[in-house]
Amino acid sequence: MAIKLNHTIVHSKDPRAAAEFYSGVFGLPAAKPFGPFLDVNVANEVTLAFLSAEGMEVQMQHYAFLVSETEFDQIFGRIKQRRLKFWADPGQKQAGEINHHFGGRGVYFQDPSGHLLEIITQPYGPFPK
């Protein structure tokens, strides 16, 4: 299978603030303008293309990032430093906690537009029976 996700548009209330948020919290290179987009690249060649929602209501999307244990510590440190709310679950019920699914660590938080972000140190595996 040769198909790879290459880019996705992240509709944002304020694309500049959103791109800076992703670069800052994740420790990624600064966004590069590309036409109407502000592009932030992650390690597996996927581009997050931030685009203004042009005053429309932003439909919440979910973006999950697989990170190393060290990166988790760094990113989670920035989440706490910025006093962002975080949850152990996507339903945002377990506030202030992280999860340990699939033998790793995971946590959910929101970007400035309300998209639900997740960092995990282990990819989702088979659910326990």
Cβ distance to Fe ion smaller for residue 15 or 104: 104
- 36-60 burial: b if 16+ Cβ within 10 Å, else e: ebbbbebeeebbbbbebbeeeebee
Please state the closest distance from residue 91 (CB atom) to Fe ion, in A. 12
**Per the structure block, which two tokens stand in for 82?**
């910025």
Please state the closest distance from residue 56 (CB atom) to Fe ion, in A. 25
Please state the closest distance from residue 84 (CB atom) to Fe ion, in A. 17
Please state the closest distance from residue 62 (CB atom) to Fe ion, in A. 6
* Region of 20-28, 60-68, 78-86, 92-100 interacting with Fe ion (CB under 5 A): 60-68
Contact 46, 7 (CB under 8 A): yes
Question: 66 to 125, contacts with Fe ion by CB under 5 A?
Answer: 118
Strand boundaries in the chain, DSSP class E: 7-12, 32-34, 37-41, 47-52, 62-66, 86-87, 106-110, 116-120
Residue type, 71: E
Residue 64 found at the interface with Fe ion (CB under 5 A): yes
Task: Name the residue with the smallest CB distance to Fe ion.
Answer: 64
Site for Fe ion, rule CB under 5 A: 64, 118
